[in-house]
Structure 1
Amino acid sequence: MPTFISSIGSLAVPAPHVEPIDILLATYNGAAFLRPQIESLLAQDYLSFRILVSDDGSTDDTLAILSAYAQRFPDRLVLVPSPLSGRGALRNFEHLMTVCLAQGRARWFAFADQDDVWLPDKLSRSAACMQTLESNGGADLPCLVHTDLCVVDATQRVVHPSMVRYEGLNPAAATRESLLSVNEVTGCTVLGNQRLLELALPLPPAAIMHDWWCAVIAGSGRRAFIPHATVYYRQHGANQIGARDRGVWARGRRLVLDGPGVWRRVRELGAQTWHQAVALGQRLCERGLDRTYVDDYLRWRCRSRLAQASAYRRYYAGPQLDRLTRWLLWRGFDAQPPSRRYP
């Protein structure tokens, strides 16, 4: 049975520096903020790690910066050749995940974004938590640790000390069912184990993002949230995915300025979450794992709104307005029953 540990603040102490970790850093035109991030990775108080970097065809100084660091720290930073460029963040991270798994050097892996800054104890806190998750047979299960973040602006001025509170989320209470609809796992805080990589790869076409896919895969194992910011999450104009204030006034302003766009994006996300859940059910079936909770979710999505009313809080996490919006706009997107969807 999967285990979900709501929060592990008491375990946020340095772990023994013995288990090797691969930090997976995907880059693309990130020269403006790349140096501070690499410096923060190199300054980790957890000593057994290396940084695997895959670039997606940058046209700025990103490659020059990476090459300089690779020459200075050849045992720490490794440039991973990429067969194609312009694939986007999801496929760039998938490439790094594939290399990490194929090499088999690291027991654990961590995602890193090019424009953030890690606090020095980021890895050690997560590693201590991962050791607990993997104890008592957990190493044979997909395990994932994630943390809170401190939201900062382009100049690293603090916007909000907690991204979780800023966005009105509650990852400590998230379940494998609610994660099918709402991603409360921020990729740049993730530490995962080898079993998670094995089950997550290859990423299916329906995967919305690499971190969300890993989060739902971890539903078959163990996941823990550390309610402590370990990353300065840099919010700037070039972010592909950014933190958003989900307060009533901020949300009302977005609806006034871009109402049709907001409704369109909500509907699109409804379709994306549906197809990702179908892909998850297929993956679990292929690997001989229990998919019952995914089938139940898909059946529930196909029910009438009235029939859904009693259980929508179970599947739709987040602020109440978000929950109601999904309940009103999201539907099933495939009339085929779950029992016929898988081989």
Structure 2
Amino acid sequence: MTQTPPSASNPDVRTDDRREVQILMASYQGARYIQEQLNSIATQAYPHWRLFVSDDGSQDDTRRLIANFADTHGHRRIHLIDGPRQGATQNFLHLIRMAPRDRMLAFCDQDDVWHPEKIERAVSKLARISGPAHYAARTTITDENLEPVAQSRHFSRPLTFRNALVQACMAGNTSVFNPAAAALLKAGVEAASSADIQSHDWWAYQLTSGAGAKIIHDHHPVLLYRQHGMAEMGRNDTTSAMAKRLGQLFAGDFGKWVAANHTALNASRTLLTEDNRRILDLTIAALRCKGPVAAQRLYHLGLYRQTRAGTAALMAATATGRLRQPFSASRRSR
């Protein structure tokens, strides 16, 4: 079952129904866990949803399970499409590109289990906002058998563009976007895909905060976040996990991820507020400088991570040249 997703030109979709949440799930070899996630979507207290699954060429029973789910819950509500087969991030970007316009969007991982009120909480909080808004929440971290281990971190510092430029805090598996924020993602998705960004949820946090959207982080856990050997991302709340992530600041890959993000943001700079365009330009200019000068400039710009240790590690990595970008990698878009 491979379907063409509904679009603005498809009469099957009512363009005035902005209450509907489009759930975007990227799947690949997910047969072991995906049925539990599908079941949790089916039992959501909020009834106005559609599910779009982009499968990246699974060879196990993933597609069959999705097809069976569609047989049970309706092919007008469940849509299976072919993914680009370029990894999870590109698969999510593909889903953003293909999703209908003027709807709320929700990212969805194939191996979690949503609490019944997951969508309802997000919609309730987003409904209070008149402009673009991006919602995310805490999760209950579990082992592979869904036995609770801990709750994910609660962020105490403001969630702003100055934070988003250097840290991913809005978990993709909990993220929901109102129609205005979803329109921002659609407007920026081609630039993100071309820049080959590392993380769709980090980019989404950067773009929405940079565009002046309201950023909402719910302290209430909304899903079971399953940890297992095949998971794309692992937990980040333990001392060892946080130490590992801080260590990534000193690895060459982190600088490449930052450069790709800046390239994507630069190409979508008209979506950003005037002040945040200025912050982006100054950040790019700083990271073209030698390490100590770059660190000093980032410090004066007020870029920060959520902990003092994280911010100190960021500045130290910058001072040693780990985040330095060549001019060609971050040249301002014309």
The TM-score with structure 2 as length reference comes to 0.81
Query: C-alpha separation between the residues in 2 aligned to 1:187 and 1:129?
Result: 17
Kept in 2, the 8 Å contact 1:53–1:77? The answer is: no
Q: Which amino acid aligns with 1:113?
A: D
Instruction: Specify the SS of the correspondent of 1:58.
Output: coil
Residue number in structure 1 paired with 2:281:
295
Q: CA-to-partner distance for each residue in 1:146-193, whole Å, 9 max, x for gaps? A: 111111110111110x2115xxxx265221111111000100111113
Query: C-alpha separation between the residues in 1 aligned to 2:219 and 2:175?
Result: 13
Using the TM superposition, give the Cα deviation of residue 324 of structure 1 relative to its aligned residue in structure 2, in angstroms.
Answer: 2.5
* Gap runs ≥5 in structure 2: 1-16
- Answering whether residue 314 of structure 2 is matched by residue 326 of structure 1, we say yes
Q: CA-to-partner distance for each residue in 1:224-274, whole Å, 9 max, x for gaps? A: 111111111111111111113442x6666x69xxx9xx5687331123113
Residue number in structure 2 paired with 1:275:
260
Instruction: Specify the SS of the correspondent of 1:60.
Output: coil
- Sequence identity (%): 25
Instruction: Identify which of structures 1 and 2 has the higher relative contact order when contacts are C-alpha pairs closer than 8 Å and 6+ apart.
Output: 1
Residue number in structure 2 paired with 1:118:
114
Q: Which amino acid aligns with 1:227?
A: H
Please show how residues 185-264 of structure 1 align to structure 2 within 5 Å: 185-192=170-177, 193=179, 194-202=182-190, 203-204=192-193, 205-219=195-209, 220-222=211-213, 223-247=215-239, 262=247
CA RMSD of aligned residues (A): 2.8
Kept in 2, the 8 Å contact 1:54–1:81? The answer is: yes
Using the TM superposition, give the Cα deviation of residue 342 of structure 1 relative to its aligned residue in structure 2, in angstroms.
Answer: 1.6
Using the TM superposition, give the Cα deviation of residue 97 of structure 1 relative to its aligned residue in structure 2, in angstroms.
Answer: 1.2
Residue number in structure 2 paired with 1:39:
39
- Answering whether residue 308 of structure 2 is matched by residue 342 of structure 1, we say no
Residue number in structure 1 paired with 2:305:
317
Residue number in structure 2 paired with 1:151:
141
Query: C-alpha separation between the residues in 2 aligned to 1:310 and 1:333?
Result: 14
Using the TM superposition, give the Cα deviation of residue 208 of structure 1 relative to its aligned residue in structure 2, in angstroms.
Answer: 2.0
Using the TM superposition, give the Cα deviation of residue 336 of structure 1 relative to its aligned residue in structure 2, in angstroms.
Answer: 6.2
Query: C-alpha separation between the residues in 2 aligned to 1:292 and 1:234?
Result: 39
Q: Which amino acid aligns with 2:253?
A: E
Instruction: Specify the SS of the correspondent of 1:178.
Output: helix
- Alignment counterpart, residue 164 of structure 1, candidates 144, 153, 162: 153
**Structure 1 residues 75 and 185, CA gap change in structure 2 (3 angstroms):** same
**Structure 1 residues 42 and 180, CA gap change in structure 2 (3 angstroms):** same
**Structure 1 residues 310 and 293, CA gap change in structure 2 (3 angstroms):** closer
**Structure 1 residues 206 and 295, CA gap change in structure 2 (3 angstroms):** farther
Query: C-alpha separation between the residues in 2 aligned to 1:63 and 1:308?
Result: 48
Instruction: Specify the SS of the correspondent of 1:31.
Output: coil
**Structure 1 residues 234 and 77, CA gap change in structure 2 (3 angstroms):** farther
Instruction: Specify the SS of the correspondent of 2:39.
Output: helix
Instruction: Specify the SS of the correspondent of 2:50.
Output: strand
Query: C-alpha separation between the residues in 2 aligned to 1:76 and 1:123?
Result: 20
**Structure 1 residues 145 and 201, CA gap change in structure 2 (3 angstroms):** same
More divergent stretch after superposition (54-63 vs 308-317): 308-317
Query: C-alpha separation between the residues in 2 aligned to 1:201 and 1:146?
Result: 20
Instruction: Specify the SS of the correspondent of 1:177.
Output: helix
Query: C-alpha separation between the residues in 2 aligned to 1:275 and 1:266?
Result: 15
**Structure 1 residues 214 and 119, CA gap change in structure 2 (3 angstroms):** same
**Structure 1 residues 323 and 342, CA gap change in structure 2 (3 angstroms):** same
Query: C-alpha separation between the residues in 1 aligned to 2:234 and 2:163?
Result: 21
Residue number in structure 2 paired with 1:88:
87
Instruction: Specify the SS of the correspondent of 2:139.
Output: strand
What is the aligned length?
303
